[in-house]
Structure 1
């Protein structure tokens, strides 16, 4: 995504005529003019700082370097536009799911996007990214064309990306703890961090898991099962021809999706139908305009190896490390089977939130997860019977269905500065 240093503060009032003109002159370059003329919605072409600026939110761009050399771009919304009081502490970290980026929390707009809503509730909000998406494709010594750059799965994200991000935020804000809101993969990597990195759970006041991922034994999405199996079957061939990245931003899948779904009618019919096939139907939940915007940022990319880990998780009834096969496992783990992650190490107070209609992290797997965590303070089932996995970042019903519960626990584990 293009970077920008442009800042639009509350005082500069981006919503007035002068502010809009300044915004348009700054952001709409020649390349974007062409895409706008072709019918692409502007929001689908903007990055995190540009989107927040457009809607009157001041954001900052920060750089995190992991122990193993990955360079990650993360963002901070210092104060929400609708926050009229003092900022609460500690800071809050919001983490995206598989094939997403920080931008997913903005795609549904300031009335529904969780990044806007949490910052509007007067929290110092930090929005993370992980290796492999378009905000995490740099390394201190490796190029993205190197196979070694892509030799990661959720294991490395949990072991390195999460600790580095947490340490950076705590150091920058001089805080002792932060509160963590993790969606899907943003949940599994938290549990991995707690299992593999001693002491890091103690740096989190409360973990709020939004459809958090762990094992995927009962995943109901036929589309995702087939797609994942194909990646596993073709992994050797893909490695042979030098394709180590899965569904990258700017790749064929993303560009075709963005081109097709920019059309309002196609977005409301075909693209919505694909979304229902990936997860499950929830009519009148995701706005058509949100679909037009989100395909500008999705899929954001990951490694083939990470997709293969998800394939493996469909065939086991535990939450375990990457399976290299008997010989590889003996070499790496000194065991013929990969070790299971120690969920009992997640001593942080945990809130799990899930919907009945989620076809990806399905209720039976969420129930298994909560039964293995030692400090679950609430397992909340969203009242809306059609609430599903895709709804978390994109639904127009977010402020009604999940925001109150999120703010309840952030408030409980926070205090005013």
Structure 2
């Protein structure tokens, strides 16, 4: 989960404007293959017709067999993210490379509405906006994740897959476990980094300011027919591209603006971000999302509960047989779950992770990163990932190998 919509718009203009980033799928492939790792792109169709691009890193750099590794693992990104979030740090730090080198067959999700999965069997995201974008992370958990899991298990001919989520990537997993409990038996272990379910103690001031106004913001967005969190026209404005190019070139004196916007938007520890990775971070840019995803999080912040989307009393009555949205049933989540959080995360706080831990029937690990200023995006961008996250994560996964 990221910060304010205003910051997201700025970063989207910076990232797309600086690099003319029109074909992000090629960016993932080019970056990963430049380090000597193989990649594949798979298209997965959901039950409700969305077409998702899923990226695969089947084996490691030094594999002699040149065959997919034995143990499949799925990685799922956060709000406004995509698979590219996880390749920033390079082979020694970034999770897909590390996992591939340790015997894992790595599959990276791109949720509906991201620039990789902005497709549907019958709906056009630009012409059928009101229908295409009418989803929150609830639908990602109910439809996208089950479709990807079934696809991966079918290709690999395995009975279980391990799962790693960051931020919204954990939210959608908890939705799936609660709403589609049959999928718990298909999970070896789930590792949740900055796990986002209860958000009542969130400290981000911009989110705190906007969250209580979610009903008004939904009405405003719908009246303006703005359904995509960052409208496409903002990404193709040539004047804005030119301005952002001047600001963010590698040798520009104002290049630190890019870094500062990222800090305001996402929350990371400045000392944990290599200056050389800033260009790659902004070039992979925001991944795209529906406004309803952000509004659904606003409801969690406002209520302090892990609830289904609040569509208003009349619509709630039709959907839930209740005027108020019900809570997700954690008792259905039988999968082994390991949680990781950062002390300085102002989005997913220690207090809320502790509440989440008490609701999980099969909690197998509870880990606070032993670095005082570790924050939200450090789980995907930090230079010390290997030391503080990857070693622990690999130990957890090894316990659940089949």
TM-score by length of structure 2 reads 0.87
Structure 1 residue 53, shift from structure 2 partner:
1.4
Aligned residues: 379
Matched ranges for 1:86-165 at <5 A: 89-145=70-126, 146=128, 147-165=130-148
Provide closer, same or farther for how the CA distance between residues 235 and 165 of structure 1 changes in structure 2, counting only shifts above 3 A.
Answer: same
After superposition, give the CA deviation of every residue in 1:9-49 in whole Å (9 maximum; x if it has no partner): xxxxxxxxxxxxxxxxxxxxxxxxxx9xx97599x975221
Q: Which structure 2 residues correspond to residues 234-253 of structure 1 after superposition, within 5 A?
A: 234-247=217-230, 251-252=234-235
Provide the residue aligned with 1:367 in structure 2. 354
Given candidates 278, 290, 297, the residue that maps to 2:277 is: 290
1:9-408 aligned within 5 A: 40=19, 46-83=26-63, 89-145=70-126, 146=128, 147-226=130-209, 233-247=216-230, 251-252=234-235, 259=245, 260-263=247-250, 269-280=256-267, 282-408=269-395
More helix by share: 2
CA distance in 2, matches of 1:40, 1:333: 45
Greater mean deviation of Cα atoms: 243-252 or 108-117: 243-252
Contact 2:18 2:283 in 1 (8 A): no
Please, what is the CA RMSD of the aligned residues? Answer: 2.7
Query: Given that residues 214 and 299 in structure 2 are in contact (C-alpha distance below 8 angstroms), is that contact kept between their aligned partners in structure 1?
Result: no
- Structure 2's unaligned 5+ residue stretches are 1-13
Cα distance in structure 1, aligned partners of 2:333 and 2:253: 44
CA, structure 1 residues 266+335, in 2 after alignment: closer, same or farther (shift >3 Å)? farther
Question: CA–CA distance in 1 between the matches of 2:253 and 2:142?
Answer: 41
Matching residue of 1:24: none
Shift of 1:84: 6.4
1:350-408 deviations in Å (ceiling 9; x for gaps): 10011101111111111110110011111011111111111111111111110001100
Helix, strand or coil: the match of 2:192? strand
**Whole-Å separation in 1 of the counterparts to 2:229 and 2:146:** 24
- Give the match for residue 4 of structure 2: none
CA distance in 2, matches of 1:347, 1:258: 47
TM-score, length-scaled by structure 1: 0.84
